[in-house]
Amino acid sequence: RAFSHTFSLQPVPFSGTIEGSLQDGLQITVSGTILNSSSTRFSVDFQTGFSGNDIAFHFNPRFEEGGYVVCNTKLNGSWGPEERKRELPFQKGMPFHLCFLVQSSDFKVMVNGNLFVQYFHRVPFHRVDTLCVNGSVQLSSISFQTQTVIHTVQSVPGQMFSLCWLPLADLSPSFRQPMPFIATIPGGLYPSKSIILSGTVLPSAKGFHINLCSGSHIAFHLNPRFDENAVVRNTQINNSWGSEERSLPRKMPFTRGQSFSVWILCEGHCLKVAVDGQHLFEYYHRLGNLPAINRLEVGGDIQLTHVQT
């Protein structure tokens, strides 16, 4: 059984309490659209309480001076030194996906499937119990994911928002099941659609695969092979495989016995694939009818812990 945790939210400003505070390994995905307005900024703040006096991580894109992003920390009402990145991967009027991965030393921030910036903690991240979004954006969803817990958020007009912690075992006692795992992708693929999978590679693994299927065709076949130290990508049409793609910008990101997270982001011309919060490769569509790609199949030597379609 797959889980879809996409909840519609009211327009910003948004404020939500994170029950239990941030944890190492928590992944927060903020999706929405940049408003095509005269406003030039928006921000995502990880803070203590609702006052705004203590912000552990202030992520602040600005459509000014050619575009840049400010990262900072505020303690007792006073800002620290700014960290600026002279790059702006957002466009007015366009949708975006922001993924924040909390790790022991830093926040890793991905924008639309690409690693954008690392922000090293200046205060202990476990102090963070509130998430706020302000500025020139329309939110469509906020989702929280860990290896063992799914966090969801839903808006209530005129009220604050509570982010609930739901153990996987409570949602589906049979979820941790043997391969293969098969699930429907509601609505199929479309630009800005994300599919997120987390799991653990078995200690003696030879390989595993993640397939996005259209009828009897495999539109996208992702196949890490440990004996070959390769991540193979391909498409199968009418039971015939196309040409393999194997090149990677860095070393094999999957390890026997280790946990992993795969994020597949669909764009108009390709799929962007990130592993453990870092962009790995792009795969250009070989089947053009994206909405017909509506089935996920996972098999091989892994144990799944979370699927979001």
Query: Residue 53: which region, alpha, beta or left (left: phi > 0; alpha: psi -120 to 50)?
Result: alpha
Is 177's pLDDT higher than 70?
no
Residue 160 pLDDT class (50, 70, 90 cuts): very low
What residue ranges define each of the domains in the chain, with the CATH number in brackets? Answer: 14-171 (2.60.120.200), 181-308 (2.60.120.200)
**Gap between the Cα atoms of 17 and 2, Å rounded:** 26
Which residues make beta-bridge pairs with 145?
27, 150
Going by DSSP bridges, is the β-strand pair 161-167/14-18 parallel, antiparallel, or unpaired?
parallel
What does residue 216 show for φ and ψ, rounded to 5 degrees? Answer: -90, 0
pTM of the model: 0.51
Confidence at residue 11, expressed as pLDDT on a 0 to 100 scale: 63
Average pLDDT for 280-308: 91
Query: Mean pLDDT in the chain?
Result: 83
Residue 155 pLDDT class (50, 70, 90 cuts): very low
Is 88's pLDDT higher than 70?
yes
Residues in Cβ contact with 300 at an 8 Å cutoff, skipping those fewer than 6 apart: 179, 205, 206, 207, 208, 209
Average pLDDT for 60-74: 94
What does residue 292 show for φ and ψ, rounded to 5 degrees? Answer: -80, -10
Is 149's pLDDT higher than 70?
no
pLDDT higher for 279 or 221? 221
- What is the dihedral sign for C-alpha 35, 41, 46, 52? negative
C-alpha closest to that of 214 among 176, 259, 245, 184: 184
Is 290's pLDDT higher than 60?
yes
Confidence at residue 22, expressed as pLDDT on a 0 to 100 scale: 87
Highest mean pLDDT among 33-42, 63-72, 136-145: 63-72
Is 183's pLDDT higher than 70?
yes
Tokens found for residue 259 = 């946990």
Is 1's pLDDT higher than 70?
no
C-alpha closest to that of 304 among 197, 204, 210, 225: 197
Confidence at residue 32, expressed as pLDDT on a 0 to 100 scale: 86
Lowest mean pLDDT among 18-32, 193-207, 238-252: 18-32
Q: What is the pLDDT of residues 2-49, one digit of tens each?
A: 233 344 455 678 888 887 788 888 888 888 889 888 888 999 999 999
Residue ranges with strand state E in 168-207: 181-184, 194-201
H or E stretch covering 168 = helix 168-171
